[in-house]
Amino acid sequence: MMFPNLFSPLKIGTVEVKNRISFQPHLTNLAVGNLPSERQMYYWGERAKGGAGLIITEELTVHPTDMSYEKLIDVYHSEVIPGFKKITDYVHQYDSKIFAQLNHNGQQGDGSISRLPVWAPSPVPDVLFREVPKAMEPEDIEEVTRYFAKSAIHVREGGFDGIEIQFGHSSLARQFLSPLTNHRQDEYGGSLENRMRAPLKFISAVRKAVGNDFTLGIRMCADEMIPGGLDLAQVQEICARFEASGLIDFMDLSIATFYNLYLVEGSMHTPLGYTIPLAAGVRERIKLPVFCTGRINDPVMAEKVLASGQADMIGMCRALICDPFLPKKALEGRMDDIRYCIACNQGCIGRIGMNKALGCVQNPAVGREKEWGEGTLTKAGVKKRVTIVGGGPAGMWAAKMANRRGHQVTLIDRAENLGGQVITAMKGTGRDEFGVIIRNEKSQIDKSGVTVKLGMEATTEQLLADKADVVIVATGSNPKKHPVGGADGPAIFNVVQVLNNEAELGEKVCLIDYDGHQRATATAEFLANQGKKVDMITSSLFICAELGPTQDLYSSRQRLLQKGVTFTPDIAVMEVGGEAGAKTVKGFNVYSNVWNEWGPYDSIVLAMGQQVDDALYMSLKGKVPELYRIGDCVSPRKVDMAIWEGHKIGREI
Ligand SMILES: Cc1cc2nc3c(=O)[nH]c(=O)nc-3n(C[C@H](O)[C@H](O)[C@H](O)COP(=O)(O)O)c2cc1C
Ligand code: SF4
């Protein structure tokens, strides 16, 4: 067996988990009426079917003062029990275990949802939510403790195998433990013993409620990674004391807080396995099973962590959002079939942070497992000859899905490689992992019966002469030709030309950013890395305006500023002019309406939007029995929609 440690069982409290893979807790926004839903049953069930030994639910809120998202499950109401039973029964049929995560988010909550003040140890506002919380009175602490206990009973009655209490990155318990957020002078603040008092009350109450024959653990923040906060040494001591209490059976770990949210779900700019040293540090100190989570997205790394004794259980969150069947594929040695998560954060946390239902750019079935999950694809009634033009993500997905349904598929692209715009995007600084999207799909196309024709320009005449039953146009988009006055002058380039090394740039460059996303920022960094002096001008309030949801805002801005890039926000750029070496940018401040001119620059780079490449589609319209267009050639968007539409059309034709 390739992964003997990963697929060995582990006893956690009273349960035996069949392997070392835990599908880690994460919000789904799939609850209905604050109760567990059928969609969640299929969602978690799919990961059980895919072989995860353990599943930990999203955080379930234990008290009305904690409502950080509209669609949290209110576990303190007994009405949750029937829905829980359906979920746990469904998961158990695949021999997986399922724990519930109980949480109160404390100051990391939103009183405008609950219409109640948020509660916290001290009136310290969270950096993200910014609400000044009500400092909890002793009776409030007693009340939350009672609610933890009440909630635990509902979990047990709902058929779960265990409970995890959230003491991690977003939790009231951590706020009590940390000197950063606990400024109390009473018996709940000050010394470590005092700061542990409320969290220990929560654990004791839950233990009492569920009894000794039920598995109970905590998810501890291994390091707050912020001056004045908890560091690994303090956390080791706290973990040792929790272990010594004899109340818990396992120690799951997370990292950071909302001060440094970009470390909680590290994006592709964060190293793979970035929390492993922290897990190893905690494991050195305690004997309880320790979970390690954070960009461990492949079984090889997981096996190494286990084999070297750095942790006992591997937490995979996004890896299994992206590919629910990763465990099964690893067990069967089908490494090429794994769809690796790229830590883009666009579909998962990027949507959750905006209060939308969970998704994944690479897995359109997330949250739609009943309709689109494993085993739902049916053979087409009539086998058709399908020609797809455009080998980017949309075209590749359409080809893969149509082929699986029994159609005879030909995929054509004028480029020498499959991948479309991803091939350019992955050249941006720190974006190479974006290319894994293509590697994932290419391995599937290579194994399929799809005929791939590269380096071939598909013309209208050829396509009409070929008389395919279905033509799908996925020809993508290109940078806008004339996004601003003077754009056709000398020494002006777009980001695609820059990333493909097709631009001869001088030393002083102005990048006009109407994108706010990686297209602009990863290009600016690419140039700064070449030693160029880069000024960025944007119409937005700030540079990286679209990168908040993906957790890249902070670290991208940090890296750009550290590399000497300057930011000028609020500017509507109206004209670019001048000769090479003396280029100027003219525009006005969108608030004051005051005009200004910037320069001189050697070169100007435009990230000012895309335009569809729909000429082929328009020329075929009305002349082909079944004609579709998908992805950017319909309207330029992000890769998630290209994949979504490729997947959908492949299922429908
Ligand atoms: C969409 C999303 C929601 C999350 N919600 C929770 C949560 O409710 N409770 C929790 O403890 N961690 C939550 N997390 C953090 C994950 O459990 C995990 O620690 C993090 O994603 C890093 O692991 P990964 O690299 O395997 O994804 C969430 C993560 C994501 C992506
Ligand atoms: S959206 Fe991106 S980061 Fe999130 S699970 Fe999918 S591939 Fe991974």
Omega within 30 of 0 (cis) for the link into 600:
yes
pLDDT of residue 171: 98
Tell whether ligand 2 has an atom less than 6 A from the beta carbon of residue 318: yes
Percent above pLDDT 90 for the chain: 99
Percent above pLDDT 70 for the chain: 100
Average pLDDT for residues 415-444, to the nearest whole number? 97
Tell whether ligand 2 has an atom less than 6 A from the beta carbon of residue 360: yes
- Give the Cα separation of 137 and 561 in Å (integer): 43
Ligand 2 pocket check: which of 24, 267, 338, 345 to mutate, most ligand atoms within 8 Å of Cβ? 345
Task: Determine contact, residues 254/279, Cβ cutoff 8 Å.
Answer: no
CA of 372 relative to ligand 1 center, distance in Å? 23
In terms of Cβ atoms closer than 10 Å to its own Cβ (0-12, 13-18, 19+), residue 246 is: exposed
- Give the Cα separation of 490 and 510 in Å (integer): 14
CATH fold for the domain made of 492-608: FAD/NAD(P)-binding domain (3.50.50)
CA of 320 relative to ligand 2 center, distance in Å? 9
Average pLDDT for residues 342-351, to the nearest whole number? 97
Q: What is the pLDDT of residues 252-263, one digit of tens each?
A: 999 999 999 999
**Which range has the worst mean pLDDT, 83-87, 128-132, 168-172, 419-423?**
128-132
Name the closest ligand to CA 165: 1
Average pLDDT for residues 403-418, to the nearest whole number? 98
pLDDT exceeds cutoff 90 at 578: yes
Residue 173 identity: A
Task: Determine contact, residues 127/169, Cβ cutoff 8 Å.
Answer: no
Tell whether ligand 1 has an atom less than 6 A from the beta carbon of residue 59: yes
Specify the ligand 2 atom closest to the Cα of 342: 7
Tell whether ligand 2 has an atom less than 6 A from the beta carbon of residue 103: no
**Angle between helix 518-529 and helix 553-562 axes, rounded to 10 deg:** 30
Tell whether ligand 2 has an atom less than 6 A from the beta carbon of residue 302: no
Cα separation values, 486 from 289, 441, 535, 582, Å: 64, 40, 19, 14
Specify the ligand 2 atom closest to the Cα of 267: 3
Average pLDDT for residues 90-109, to the nearest whole number? 98
Asked if the domains 385-479+612-652 and 492-608 are classified in one and the same CATH topology, the answer is no
pLDDT of residue 68: 85
**Predicted confidence band at 271 (pLDDT cuts at 50, 70, 90)?**
very high
Domain ranges (residues) in the chain: 10-372, 385-479+612-652, 492-608
**Angle between helix 639-652 and helix 393-404 axes, rounded to 10 deg:** 20
Residue 522 identity: A
Name the closest ligand to CA 69: 1
**Predicted confidence band at 53 (pLDDT cuts at 50, 70, 90)?**
very high
Tell me the chain's radius of gyration from C-alpha atoms.
27
User: CB under 8 Å to 212, separation ≥6 — which residues?
Assistant: none
Given strand 603-607, what is the order of strands in its sheet? 492-494, 603-607, 508-513, 533-538, 566-568
Residue in 99, 97, 102, 101 with CA at minimum distance from that of residue 10: 97
* The CATH number of domain 385-479+612-652 is 1.10.645.10: no
Tell whether ligand 2 has an atom less than 6 A from the beta carbon of residue 321: yes
pLDDT exceeds cutoff 90 at 196: yes
CA of 451 relative to ligand 2 center, distance in Å? 29
Residue in 43, 191, 19 with CA at minimum distance from that of residue 96: 19
**Predicted confidence band at 366 (pLDDT cuts at 50, 70, 90)?**
very high
Tell whether ligand 2 has an atom less than 6 A from the beta carbon of residue 366: no
Tell whether ligand 2 has an atom less than 6 A from the beta carbon of residue 347: yes
- Give the Cα separation of 118 and 366 in Å (integer): 31
User: CB under 8 Å to 124, separation ≥6 — which residues?
Assistant: 107, 133, 175, 180, 181, 183
Average pLDDT for residues 361-373, to the nearest whole number? 98
Tell whether ligand 2 has an atom less than 6 A from the beta carbon of residue 341: yes
Average pLDDT for residues 415-430, to the nearest whole number? 97
CA of 493 relative to ligand 2 center, distance in Å? 31
pLDDT of residue 579: 92
- Residue nearest ligand 1's atom 1 by CA: 349
Q: How do strand 477-479 and strand 54-61 relate by DSSP bridges?
A: unpaired
CA of 295 relative to ligand 1 center, distance in Å? 11
Name the closest ligand to CA 355: 1
Beta strands in 79-133 (DSSP E): 97-103, 119-120
pLDDT of residue 95: 98
CA of 59 relative to ligand 1 center, distance in Å? 10
Tell whether ligand 2 has an atom less than 6 A from the beta carbon of residue 512: no
Tell whether ligand 1 has an atom less than 6 A from the beta carbon of residue 13: no
Task: Determine contact, residues 123/181, Cβ cutoff 8 Å.
Answer: no
**What's the chain's average pLDDT?**
97
Name the closest ligand to CA 279: 1
Tell whether ligand 1 has an atom less than 6 A from the beta carbon of residue 265: yes
Tell whether ligand 2 has an atom less than 6 A from the beta carbon of residue 362: yes
Q: What is the pLDDT of residues 316-339, one digit of tens each?
A: 999 999 999 999 999 999 999 999
Task: Determine contact, residues 29/14, Cβ cutoff 8 Å.
Answer: no
Tell whether ligand 2 has an atom less than 6 A from the beta carbon of residue 145: no
CA of 366 relative to ligand 2 center, distance in Å? 11
Q: What is the pLDDT of residues 501-523, one digit of tens each?
A: 999 999 999 999 999 999 999 99
pLDDT of residue 1: 85
pLDDT exceeds cutoff 90 at 640: yes
Tell whether ligand 2 has an atom less than 6 A from the beta carbon of residue 352: no
Tell whether ligand 2 has an atom less than 6 A from the beta carbon of residue 345: yes
Sign of CA pseudo-dihedral 460, 462, 464, 470 = negative
Name the closest ligand to CA 169: 1
Q: What is the pLDDT of residues 100-124, one digit of tens each?
A: 999 999 999 999 999 999 999 999 9
CATH fold for the domain made of 10-372: TIM Barrel (3.20.20)
- How is residue 564 annotated by DSSP? T
Specify the ligand 2 atom closest to the Cα of 361: 1
Average pLDDT for residues 452-464, to the nearest whole number? 98
pLDDT of residue 269: 95
